[in-house]
């Protein structure tokens, strides 16, 4: 066998050995592709009759603003905060933080807030979560006292408020009212609004 035939034989043998290995790598790469991700935005809207509140919500919540004004009698609705999370199918989100959700100005009287969404799923008609929970410990002024220097200091207690749900369904790309929570010692109400969008990769 001459030299050129031997070289061709070696090339053919190498291709025969490497072909299954190449296919195996291709399958491995395919199996490790990420599932689609989704962005969950939880908007906390507070309705009140406080003349000092701004009466308008962002344009992105125009549909919710119309719904609230049609069903509730508050003179003002303000966006207190928006919380974002990224999730994939069967995933969970848990969030805990300190916030001035109610417009508290004193650092020592902030709201302790937490919310979670569990077993999130994407469906052909929208999205579903097997559990949703929103909870907060909000400061409530119950009195005042004078210290040794004669300075008046507030007495603040914390009241627990919250909302728990199971089997929650949500449409895509549409701000949706999830539930309401009454504020302690106040005529105000918290409105929880969720928006879910495809976040890409």
pLDDT at 29: 52
pLDDT digits (tens, 9 = 90+) for 68-78: 999 998 989 99
pLDDT at 20: 53
CB neighbours of 85 closer than 8 A, spacing ≥ 6?
39, 40, 42, 93, 95, 117
Residues 77 and 7 in one domain: no
Residues 80 and 92 in one domain: yes
Domain enclosing residue 117, as ranges: 37-200
Residues 152 and 105 in one domain: yes
pLDDT at 22: 52
Residue 75 carries which DSSP code? S
Residues 71 and 15 in one domain: no
Distance CA 55, CA 138 (A): 23
Q: What pTM value is reported for the model?
A: 0.77
pLDDT digits (tens, 9 = 90+) for 138-171: 888 888 888 888 888 878 888 899 999 999 999 9
Residues 58 and 29 in one domain: no
Residues 72 and 170 in one domain: yes
pLDDT at 82: 93
Distance CA 163, CA 62 (A): 24
Residues 27 and 83 in one domain: no
pLDDT at 116: 96
Count Cα atoms within 13 angstroms, Cβ side, for 6: 3
Residues 17 and 110 in one domain: no
pLDDT at 53: 57
Q: Which two tokens stand for residue 159?
A: 């009241």
The tally of domains found in the chain comes to 2
Cα 78–81–82 angle (5° rounding)? 120
pLDDT at 3: 47
- Strands (E) located in the chain: 37-48, 76-87, 93-99, 111-123, 126-146, 152-170, 176-182, 189-200
Residues 54 and 147 in one domain: yes
Residues 81 and 123 in one domain: yes
Residues 2 and 82 in one domain: no
Taking the chain (201 residues) in runs of 10, the rounded mean pLDDT of each run is 54 50 50 79 91 74 92 91 92 90 66 93 93 92 83 85 94 95 87 92 56
Distance CA 111, CA 83 (A): 15
Distance CA 76, CA 168 (A): 28
CB neighbours of 125 closer than 8 A, spacing ≥ 6?
171
Rounded alpha-carbon distances, angstroms, from residue 184 to 63, 66, 103, 114, 133: 27, 25, 15, 17, 19
Residues 143 and 69 in one domain: yes
């Amino acid at each position: 066998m001459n030299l050129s035939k031997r070289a061709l034989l070696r090339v053919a043998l190498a291709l025969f050995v490497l072909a299954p290995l190449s296919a195996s790598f291709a399958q491995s790469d395919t199996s490790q592709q990420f599932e689609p991700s989704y962005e969950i935005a939880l908007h906390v809207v507070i309705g009140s009759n406080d003349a000092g509140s701004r009466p308008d919500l962002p344009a992105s919540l125009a549909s919710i603003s119309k719904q609230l004004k049609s069903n509730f009698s508050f003179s003002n609705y303000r966006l207190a905060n928006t919380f974002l999370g990224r999730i994939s199918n069967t995933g969970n989100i848990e969030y805990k933080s300190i916030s001035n959700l109610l417009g508290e100005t004193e650092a020592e009287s902030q709201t302790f807030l937490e919310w979670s969404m569990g077993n999130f799923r994407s469906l052909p008609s929208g999205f579903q979560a097997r559990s949703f929970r929103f909870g907060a410990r909000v400061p409530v002024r119950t009195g005042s006292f004078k210290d040794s220097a004669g300075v008046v200091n507030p007495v603040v207690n914390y009241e627990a408020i919250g909302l728990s749900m199971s089997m929650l369904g949500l449409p895509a790309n549409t701000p949706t009212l999830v539930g309401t929570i009454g504020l302690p010692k106040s005529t105000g109400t918290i409105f929880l609004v969720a928006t879910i969008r495809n976040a890409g990769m």
